[in-house]
Amino acid sequence: MEERKRKETGFITVGILITIATVGLIGSVSWFLRGSATETVRNIVVNVTGSGILVYIIETYKKELENPGRILFSYLAGLFACAGGAFLPSFVMPLLSFGLIFMLLSNFACGICAYALFCINITLLSSSATDVFFYFFITGLFAMAVYVHTSEDDFQIVRPLIMISCISVVLYMALSVLKFFKLTVNMVINPAIGLFLNIFILSIALYVYKKNVVVVYKEKYKEINDTEFALLRQLKNQNKDVYFLAIHTAYLSDRIAGNLGLNRDLVKCGAYYRRIGILMDENYYEKNRELMEKNKFPPDLIELVEECSPLNLHPKHKEAAIVLLSDMVISSITEQIHNSPETQIDYKKEIDSIISDIQKKAMLSECNITVNEFEQVQKYFKEETLYYDFLR
């Protein structure tokens, strides 16, 4: 609870500082460069609106964002890059790298919003033509798209940087060289410097990001995904019913997560530890976070387990939905087997009944799972009918 309050306060502070820093810095640089009240007011109005939108987007996604301090720092770095770019020739400022770093430390929606504001500002402050805006924005958009879905298994550095470099060169040729049908020294040197700076900054930043963010919990997941982990052994000794429910739910969740291309470690652990707080109290959902924080569980796992709490039966993320749905299927079939051990259960009919109940209650109304993915989940449940016999 304390951690959640600190995070909430952190994002409120981030929103305030983003607005003040953006309006103050851009307004000051505008006046310094132009000395025009009209242009300064125009830029201030644009940035009040732009920063307001960004703060709203951050507020919308704050539950899934981590470390407000990192987000603020990366945004301010990009903002100062915009201000500095106003004093440099066009295409020299490595704006793309700052936008991509901000996206990696927040998410795609926040990254696009912030980077669009960066591109607008560097264009307004330097009185550049629209081709400068399009160059920065499209190359940055491509870089973010490359890294929008990454994990420790597929996170690469060299190949994406080569792709980003190629796109930057091609786009620059299309927007500038073909526009004038000639090449000058500055038209070659300026973008070359900018591209070199982007690659240099990103090479270091992506390596640090991978080492400290992407794979930092890889070994921890490996440890806690083992059924011999201390908490799971304790659960087995203390409450066998809950333990076996967790094991079977984890199996089903893992299979579905693999088919949907989701983070299997996260989903499997979510199933294992959804009720781990029962080791301390029957109202396990009140103790889940305390026990997981004590054992230094990854933050995204703690958030997933809280999203699967009985107090919150409207998950927002696919991973949480998979854990909840798998839990419901396993729990329902196990209960029927326990009540009528000799009765032959029509598993497919039971799954249809569970899915129908979920739809009536609109449990997934706030979830980012698509209709097609939901239909695939239902199909995968039915394909596991042979496994359900092991629940007997």
Domain made up of 218-391: CATH architecture: Orthogonal Bundle (1.10)
Q: What is the pLDDT of residue 253?
A: 94
Neighbours of 365 (CB within 10 A): 8
Please name which of 96, 95, 101, 94 lies closest in space to residue 197, comparing C-alpha atoms. 94
| Cα–Cα distance for residue pair 130/208, rounded to 1 Å | 34
Q: Could you please report the per-residue DSSP string of 227-284?
A: TTSHHHHHHHHH-HHHHHHHHHHHHHHHHHHHHHT--HHHHHHHHHTTTGGGGT-SSG
For residue 36, give the 3-state DSSP assignment.
Answer: coil
pLDDT tens sequence across 335-378: 888 888 777 888 888 899 988 888 888 888 888 888 888 889 99
pLDDT tens sequence across 297-309: 988 899 899 888 8
64 close to 303: Cβ distance less than 8 angstroms: yes
Q: Give the whole-number percent of the chain exceeding pLDDT 70.
A: 97
Q: What is the model's pTM? A: 0.73
CATH 1.10.3210 domain residues, the chain: 218-391
Burial tier of 37 (Cβ tally within 10 Å: 0-12, 13-18, 19+): exposed
Neighbours of 379 (CB within 10 A): 12
